[in-house]
Amino acid sequence: MSKITKITTKTKKITKDTTLGEVLELPGAEQILAKYKVPCLTCPMAQMEMGVLTIGNICKMYGVDLEGILKELNKTESK
């Protein structure tokens, strides 16, 4: 008899080095960023820099609670 093995892939943990573009791929991420008043969601310049803006740099620039936002984003990621 053959044994069928279920293959699972571990999702990537969101860190301060994760880009805004990667974060926005998560379901519900936009609502979390809006809750923390991240201005990049509506900024035309940010739209051009999605691949280089990191969540850590954004939080530092705008005084956003990095630990809180990472906790919520990773909670969403694990669902």
Of 71, 38, 65, nearest to 53 (Cα)? Answer: 38
Q: pLDDT tens digits, residue range 24-34? A: 999 999 999 99
* DSSP single-letter state for residue 43: -
Judge whether 4 lies within some domain.
Answer: no
Q: pLDDT tens digits, residue range 27-53? A: 999 999 999 999 988 888 888 888 899
Judge whether 6 lies within some domain.
Answer: no
Judge whether 1 lies within some domain.
Answer: no
Of 72, 70, 52, nearest to 14 (Cα)? Answer: 70
State the total domains in the chain: 1
User: What is the phi/psi pair of residue 54, to 5°?
Assistant: -100, 155
Range of the domain at 34: 20-77
pTM (2 d.p.): 0.77
Judge whether 73 lies within some domain.
Answer: yes
Judge whether 54 lies within some domain.
Answer: yes
Q: What is the pLDDT of residue 42?
A: 86
When computed from its CA atoms, the radius of gyration of the chain, rounded to whole angstroms, is: 15
Judge whether 24 lies within some domain.
Answer: yes
Judge whether 15 lies within some domain.
Answer: no
Judge whether 12 lies within some domain.
Answer: no
* DSSP single-letter state for residue 66: H
